[in-house]
Amino acid sequence: MDLLAQGWFVVAVSAALGLCVGSFANVVIYRSPRDELSSFRPARSFCPACREQIAWYDNIPVLSWLLLRARCRRCSAVISARYPSVELLVGALFACACVLVRPSNADGYVHLATIFYLAATCVVVTLIDLEHLIIPDSITWPGMVLGLLASLAFPVLQAGHPGFKPDDPHGSALIASLFGLLAGGGSLMLVGFAGNLMLKRRLKEAGVQDAMGWGDVKWMGLAGAFLGASSVMGAILVGCFTGAVAGIAMKVAARVRDEAQPLGLPFGPFLSLGILVELARPGVTWWLLEQITRPA
């Protein structure tokens, strides 16, 4: 197999893996916000309408949805198009990640696996936050621990980040990961405190306690544990900018329609967008900021 064919084979395998991970992502999206369910129990997928277990041949990503014509085999309940959409999205993200990284050694595949995990988690967090306005602890706390352990085991994840020392790769990588966790979570805490001060009256009138949810803080802590301090701060900048643009657009639309002004919106999707931007091009946020602020 020549190098070109081998490269496309890896991309195809990554896309197929993404479809399967997307199928599991659908399970997490549905179950995580529900206290009575776990992402791993029951072990088999079930129809939310009739609660019957789904056979393996009815659980093939995308294909089963098409063959069943978007209906449960047993109760004929409609199966939302969100399920194949999530599978296709995660598959596409995995394929794009493989093209961008082009792994050729063990370190490359470790980097690619990290991108796979974060990209899939971005999809999960986005859809849960949009629907339920929460980011579950069952996602963020284990993810933060995983980021620290992964950095300790694979120092390449933190190579080049502040605090990383080639002569002490494992220990310094763990410290760099911890610093990234604190930088990501701590920055969002500061943003939340600033929001509480600026919107104190509106929050009180609406009966809302905090401008920034703790789920967002922990989500950026998770991202920082993997990405390091510089990249997670770039992700936060992208999230704040795109979130502000979306908020202004919502307020303008509400004024045009003569509707009540919205108090806020889920921040998780915008932070997830920032993470994806930094995964695709690490440091691009700071580079763009430098270009914008550079004197003519």
- So where are the chain's domains? 1-132, 135-296
In the chain, the amino acid numbered 248 is I
pLDDT tens string 143-154: 999 999 999 999
User: Residue 211: which pLDDT band, with cuts at 50, 70 and 90?
Assistant: low
Q: What is the reported pLDDT for 127?
A: 98
In the chain, the amino acid numbered 191 is V
CB atoms within 10 A of CB 77: 13
- Which H helix or E strand runs over 270? helix 268-280
pLDDT tens string 39-82: 888 888 999 999 999 999 999 999 999 999 999 999 999 999 99
Question: Rounded CA gap, 269 and 238, in Å?
Answer: 11
What pTM was estimated for this model as a whole?
A: 0.92
CB atoms within 10 A of CB 265: 15
* Cβ-based neighbours of 120, under 8 Å, separated by 6 or more: 18, 21, 22, 25, 90, 93
Query: Percentage of the chain surpassing pLDDT 70?
Result: 90
User: Residue 4: which pLDDT band, with cuts at 50, 70 and 90?
Assistant: low
